[in-house]
Amino acid sequence: MAPPSAIHTHETAGTGASVPTNSNGGPGTATHEPGLTKAQAEKAEIEMPKFPAPKKFEDKYQEREYQKGRLVLAFRIFAKLGFDEGVAGHITLRDPVEPTSFWVNPFGVAWPLLKASDLIRVNAQGKVVDGGPCRLLNAAAYMIHHAVHTARPEINCVAHSHSLYGRAFCSLGRNLDIITQDSCAFYNDIALYSSFKGIVLDEEEGIAIAAALGNKKAALLQNHGLLTCGRSIESTIFWFMSLEKCCHAQLLADAAAGGRGCETVKIDEKDAEYTYQTVGTEGAGWFSARPTFDIMEHESGLDYKW
């Protein structure tokens, strides 16, 4: 990775994603690989294409149906990755038509079998007002997600699950170290909620989690698991997948370093901040999730939409 002084970034119009530019403000270029001289790096620079942007809708009802389909794909992705366990875990989508309500999975319905018609819509008072035949609501899902959606009006999706490496790392009561390029996506953008009071069944605990999350896109819930959020379903799901792998990587690295009597090498703050501008933006999260969603859509056929 080039040092922060080598190149700077600008945002691609309409996406919020950052791509590198050269120091003269010219066209976008790919970041440099480590070990290249300046001459080699300049020779290696290539122009970056314009990034695509999320779908836009003039009709909010059409947007609702499209986003419900994306939410179902998100659950099927989580199931394929083993993020489901029993009836635990939930992903919510702020409703485009009635933004004070959100869509969520019905309690106890298997994620790999979910269809858009199975999702339920919950209003601000915690009442199920729309959705499929099974209208059981996970109380913890409402308490946590309602609090986050209320505190963060710009956020449209929130994901929480008891993934294996996430909950293992959350037992340590510490925040993520910035030790890999991927972890730079969470540089100054991840919170630690250092409390555990059992299953979240009361309003105060949900509000406390939302307060700890603040304006960040991810949180480590001590003795519990991971939580991520984003402006899109895709970015939220990618941050969760990436954070789970970052937790796994740090568990491995810490164990290896401990066995050798040393510590892991932390990335310099300036380099971490620079890298964040490329890999940690909302646009980067949305774009990075596209292959996973494309594959799941291909595997699911058309039945997931109804």
Assign 20 to helix, strand or coil.
strand
Instruction: Kindly state whether residue 38 falls inside one of the protein's structural domains.
Output: no
The band of 196, judged by pLDDT with boundaries at 50, 70 and 90, is confident
Q: CA-CA distance, 231 to 236, in Å (whole number)?
A: 8
Q: What pLDDT sits at residue 263?
A: 95
H runs (alpha helix) in 34-191: 38-44, 60-80, 139-151, 164-170
Tell me the backbone φ, ψ of residue 71, rounded to 5 degrees: -65, -40
Q: Per the domain annotation, does 126 fall within a domain?
A: yes
End-to-end CA distance of the chain: 45
In total, how many domains does the chain have? 1
In the predicted model, is pLDDT for residue 38 greater than 60?
A: no
Give me the amino acid identity at 221. Answer: L
State which amino acid sits at residue 183. Answer: S
The answer to whether position 37 is within a domain reads no
Residues facing 18 on adjacent strands: 11
Give me the CATH number covering residue 179: 3.40.225.10
Is 7 within a domain? no
**Would residue 35 count as lying in a domain?**
no
195: left (phi over 0), alpha (psi -120 to 50) or beta: beta
Reduced to 3 states (helix: H, G, I; strand: E, B; else coil), residue 129 is strand
Q: Report d(CA 77, CA 70) in Å as an integer.
A: 10
**Is residue 78, in this structure, part of any structural domain at all?**
yes
What's the confidence (pLDDT) of residue 4? Answer: 53
- What average pLDDT does the segment 241-248 reach? 98
SS3 state of residue 182: helix
Instruction: Label residue 214 exposed, middle or buried (CB < 10 Å: 0-12, 13-18, 19+).
Output: exposed
Q: Compute the mean pLDDT over every residue in the chain, rounded to the nearest whole number.
A: 86
Average pLDDT over residues 48-60: 85
Helices (H), 33-133: 38-44, 60-80
What sign for the dihedral angle of Cα 31, 36, 37, 40? Answer: negative
Q: Is residue 12 part of a domain?
A: no
pLDDT at position 30 over 50:
no
Higher pLDDT, 242 or 206: 242
Evaluate if residue 198 carries a pLDDT over 70. Answer: no
Q: Which residues pair with 191 in a beta bridge?
A: 219
C-alpha distances in Å from residue 238, one per residue of 18, 103, 134, 249 = 17, 19, 28, 16
From 24-33, 103-112, 273-282, the region with the lowest mean pLDDT: 24-33
Q: Is 10's pLDDT higher than 50?
A: no
Give 49's DSSP letter.
Answer: P
Domain of 257 in residue numbering reads as 60-300
Q: Across residues 204-216, what is the average pLDDT?
A: 94
Q: What is the average pLDDT across 77-91?
A: 94
Radius of gyration of the chain (CA): 20
**Where does residue 99 fall: left (phi above 0), alpha (psi -120 to 50 degrees), or beta otherwise?**
alpha
The one-letter code for the residue type at 245 is K
167-194 pLDDT tens trace: 999 999 999 999 999 999 999 999 999 9
Phi, psi values for residue 142, rounded to 5°: -65, -50
pLDDT at 47: 63
pLDDT at residue 25 greater than cutoff 60: no
Query: Is 204 contained in some domain?
Result: yes
Residues 6+ apart with CB under 8 A from 279: 181, 182, 184, 185, 288
| Beta strand extents in the chain (DSSP E only) | 8-11, 18-21, 90-94, 102-104, 120-122, 128-131, 157-161, 190-193, 218-221, 225-230
